[in-house]
């Protein structure tokens, strides 16, 4: 009887409808820098959009990505990607049979092949036919039309990385893994590639795991963040939610800031400003030409936010919002504190001295006016 009920339970379980990425890995290894390092992960990530894996160097981000790609053969655990099993106790799908794309930190093009031949390497091994339209689309989105006949050693770092991303896209992967694709480039090259990555997000509907330790890249690209430290996942969540939390090691403390998703509703030619609205109010920002999309991400650093008890009209500050204090914590700096504010459906962070905190008699639940010294579209 017991056997029968068990059987029914197993067959009832729909195996293919599991969406998302379920990854559980255990891996120990030694590097010259660290005699023993343990990666111990058990995590469910969204199976769509860009998920950033964030952490300091040496936190195991790259190892996690390599485990997912099947490049770490000693990792034990399990991996399911949108209903496909890639690893189980007795199952290990080898890397070349996983439908994935991998963009390494250095471009890793095949030096003996031209850029175009590098793309064809992926097309030829694709499990499904690549129609010429997709090839053209990838080439134009990555802006590599003019360099296809060249060999990798003739290309700049940024060009190489764009070809490498195009190559990964052409295997039409079910999951795209990107391991700090901008880390080996200088700032100018980074700024050159970021727009291509944004276009990648809007044009191709591929789930992406994006490893990075650069907050600015994550703010710009990611929908979801996984934060790692010492081989473990500390926390994860949506980008606007995570960035407004007070307890996260998202970079240095004076770089802490909240992120808002805003709509651009008006442009003021006379003062070169634009008006954006969000759930909680509206803001005036310096105008930005050539915005492709009306929905934009705005980042407001905690150090650019100050609080007042009444709405000042005699201040130079343009943006004043009303909100409520929901959390106060002490900063690493003994003079400072970090205050979390609820503004409509969103949160902002303010970095204040403990002295002003006491002077204004700020406490949890108190309604307050919020002055924002500067805010800018993330780019």
Partner 1 sequence: MSLSDGDIATIWLTLRLATTVTILLLIFATPVAWWLARTHSWFKGPVSAIVALPLVLPPTVLGFYLLLAMGPNGAIGQFTQALGLGTLPFTFWGLVVASMVYSMPFVVQPIQNAIEAIGNRPIEASATLGAGPLDCFFTVVLPLAKPGFMTATILGFAHTVGEFGIVLMIGGSIPGETRVVSVQIYDHVEALEYAQAHALSGVMVVFSFVVLLILYTFQRKRKAVGMTYGR
Question: Quick one: three-class SS letters along the chain?
Answer: CHHHHHHHHHHHCCCCCCCCEEEEEEEEECCCCCCCEEEEEEEEECCCCEEEEECCCCCCHHHHHHHHHCCCCCCEEEEEECCEEEECCCCECCHHHCCEEEECCCCCCCCCCCHHHHHHHHHHCCCCCCCHHHHHHHHHHHCCHHHCCCCHHHCCHHHHHHHHHHHHHHCCCCEEEEECCCCCCCHHHHHHHHHHHHHHHHHCCCCEEEEECCHHHHHHHCCEEEEEECCEEEEEEEHHHHHCCCCCCCCCHHHCEEEEEEEEEEEECCCCEEEEEECCEEEEEECCCCCCCCEEEEEEEHHHEEEECCCCCCCCCCEEEEEEEEEEEECCCCCEEEEEEEECCEEEEEEEEHHHHHHCCCCCCCEEEEEECCCEECC
**Which residues from 172-201 bind partner 1, rule CB under 8 A?**
177
Nearer to partner 1, 177 or 300 (CB): 177
Nearer to partner 1, 122 or 200 (CB): 122
One symbol per residue from 350 to 379: x for binding partner 1 (CB under 8 A), - otherwise; what is it? ------------------------------
- Least distance from partner 1 to the Cβ atom of residue 76, Å: 18
Q: How many residues bind partner 1 (CB under 8 A)?
A: 26
Residue 257 within binding range of partner 1, rule CB under 8 A: no
Nearer to partner 1, 117 or 148 (CB): 117
Residue selected from 73, 110, 266, 311 as contacting partner 1 according to rule CB under 8 A? 110
Of the candidate spans 22-30, 122-130, 273-281, 352-360, the one that interacts with partner 1 by CB under 8 A turns out to be 122-130
Residue 210 within binding range of partner 1, rule CB under 8 A: no
Nearer to partner 1, 152 or 280 (CB): 152
One symbol per residue from 65 to 104: x for binding partner 1 (CB under 8 A), - otherwise; what is it? ----xxx----------------------xxxx--xxx-x
Nearer to partner 1, 67 or 219 (CB): 67
List of residues contacting partner 1 (CB under 8 A): 69-71, 94-97, 100-102, 104, 106, 108, 110-112, 121-122, 125-127, 153, 167-168, 171, 177
């Amino acid at each position: 009887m017991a056997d029968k009920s068990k059987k029914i339970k197993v067959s009832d379980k729909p195996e293919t409808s599991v969406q998302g990425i379920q990854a559980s890995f255990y891996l120990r290894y030694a590097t010259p820098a660290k005699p023993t390092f343990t990666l111990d992960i058990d995590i469910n990530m969204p199976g769509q959009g860009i998920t950033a894996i964030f952490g300091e160097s040496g936190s195991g981000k790259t190892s996690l990505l390599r485990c997912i790609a099947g490049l770490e053969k000693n990792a034990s655990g399990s991996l399911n990607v949108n209903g496909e099993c890639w690893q189980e106790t007795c199952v290990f799908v080898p890397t070349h049979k996983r439908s994935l794309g991998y963009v390494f930190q250095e471009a890793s093009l095949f030096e003996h092949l031209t850029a175009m031949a590098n793309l064809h390497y992926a097309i030829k091994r694709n499990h499904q036919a690549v129609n010429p339209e997709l090839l053209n689309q990838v080439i134009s989105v990555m802006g590599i039309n003019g360099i296809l006949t060249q060999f990798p050693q003739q290309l700049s770092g940024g060009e190489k990385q764009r070809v490498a991303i195009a190559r990964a896209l052409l295997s039409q992967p079910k999951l795209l893994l990107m391991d700090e694709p901008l880390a080996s480039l200088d700032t100018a090259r980074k700024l050159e590639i970021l727009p291509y990555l944004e276009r990648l997000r809007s044009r191709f509907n591929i789930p992406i795991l994006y490893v990075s330790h650069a907050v600015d890249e994550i703010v710009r690209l990611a929908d979801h963040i996984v934060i790692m430290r010492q081989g473990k996942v500390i926390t994860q969540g949506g980008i606007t939610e995570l960035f407004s939390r007070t307890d996260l090691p998202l970079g240095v403390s004076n770089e802490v800031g909240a992120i808002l998703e805003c709509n651009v509703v008006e442009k003021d030619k006379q003062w070169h400003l634009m008006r954006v609205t969000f759930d909680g109010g509206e803001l005036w920002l310096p105008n930005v030409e050539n915005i492709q999309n009306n929905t934009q991400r705005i980042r407001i650093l905690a150090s650019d936010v100050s609080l007042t008890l009444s709405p000042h009209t005699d201040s130079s500050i343009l943006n004043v919002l009303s909100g409520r204090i929901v959390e106060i914590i002490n900063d690493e700096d003994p003079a400072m504190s970090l205050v979390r504010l609820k503004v409509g459906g969103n949160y902002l962070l303010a970095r204040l001295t403990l002295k002003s905190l006491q002077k204004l008699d700020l406490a949890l639940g108190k309604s307050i006016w919020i002055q924002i010294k500067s805010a800018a579209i993330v780019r």
